[in-house]
Chains A and B, each alone.
Chain A
Amino acid sequence: MDAFSRAMPAAGFAGGLLIGIAAALMLLGAGRIAGVSGLAARAVGLATAGAPRGVALAFIVGLPLGAAAVAAAVGPIATRFPGSAWTLVVGGLLVGFGTRLGSGCTSGHGVCGLSRLSFRSVVATAVFMASGFATVAAINAMGGGW
C-alpha cells in the first residue's frame, strides 16, 4: 500500500477540533487540564491531587459514550485492535506506569501542554513520540506484529 493512502486528513482535523473544543471546555468551564491519564487515576482513586472524583469520573465515562454516539449516528467505527491479549496487557501496564511517572499522556502533555507552550510538555511529547517511533521500528525489525 502506498504511504498516505490510508490517511484521513479531513476527518482527522475535524475530530481533532472536537477534541480541542472538549479540552477548552474543561479548561474554561472547570478550570482543569483535560489530561486523560490524570483524570483516570483520579477517577479510580489512584491520585491524591487533581480534579474532584465526580468530575474525573464524569469525563472518563463520557469518552466511550461519545464514541458510541458517533457509531450510532454514522455506523460502526472501523478499528483493528491487537489480537494478542498479552500485547494489550504489556502495553497497558507500560502506558499506565509511564503516564503517571511522566505526569501525562497525549492529551495532557500533547494537546493541553503544547497549546500552552509548556516547555515541560514539549519535552515530554517529543520523548514519547520518539519512544513510540523507536518501539514500532524495533518490533518490526524483530518481525513482530499484532
Chain B
Amino acid sequence: MSRQILLALLAGVLFGAGLAISGMADPARVRGFLDLAGTWDPTLAFVMGGALIPMALAWGIRSKLEHPLAAPAFDLPETRRIDARLIAGAAVFGIGWGVAGLCPGPAFAGLAVNAAAAGTFVVAMLAGMALHRLTLAR
C-alpha cells in the first residue's frame, strides 16, 4: 500500500508539472481554447495529443500484465452504458468549465499559483460533488 501511495504522489507531481508546463494551469488559456469565435488558442489540443501517446502505449502494455506493478489487481471502470447521466453530467461539467476556465486537475494545480482563486473554485467544486452525493448519487 505504501508503494501505491508513493507512486500516486509521484504521478500527481508529474501530472501537476505537466499542467504547469503546458499552460493548462492558466484558466485564461483554457478559456481561449473554448473561445472558438474569438482569438482561439489551440494549445489544449496539443496537450491532449501529447497526453494520449503515453497512455495509448500504456493500455497496450496493460493488456499484457497480469496485475499492476505496485498493486494486487487492476481496478478499472468497465461501464459501457451511454445514458442520460453521462450526457447530462458532461454537459453540466462543460458549462462550469466554460464559465471559469477550470477543470479539476488545473484547479488543484492552481493552488500553487493563485491559492485564493483556485481555493475558492476547489471548495465550490467539492460542494458540487457533495450536492451530487446528496441528490443523484446511486
Contact = CB atoms under 8 A, between A and B. Distances in A.
Interface in B60-111: 61-62, 65, 67-71, 73-77, 79-82, 85-105, 107-111
Contact of A132 (B10, B43, B98, B128): B98
Contacts, number: 512
A82 interface: yes
Nearest to B68: A31
A118 B70 CA distance: 25
Contacts of B26: 77-80
Interface string B15-30: 1111111111111110
Contacts of A146: 28, 31
Contact of B23 (A3, A8, A140): A8
Contact of A66 (B13, B131, B132): B13
B96 A94 contact: yes
A17 B93 contact: no
B12 A23 contact: no
Interface string A95-128: 1111111110111011110111011100111011
Interface residues of B, number: 119
Contact of B117 (A71, A76, A88, A132): A88
Interface in B115-137: 117-118, 120-133, 136-137
Interface centre among A80, A90, A105, A136 (most CB of B within 10 A): A136
A12 B47 contact: yes
A7 B9 contact: no
Interface of A: 1-34, 36-37, 40-41, 44, 46-47, 50-52, 54-56, 58-71, 76-82, 85, 87-103, 105-107, 109-112, 114-116, 118-120, 123-125, 127-137, 139-140, 146
Interface of B: 1, 4-29, 31-32, 34-59, 61-62, 65, 67-71, 73-77, 79-82, 85-105, 107-114, 117-118, 120-133, 136-137
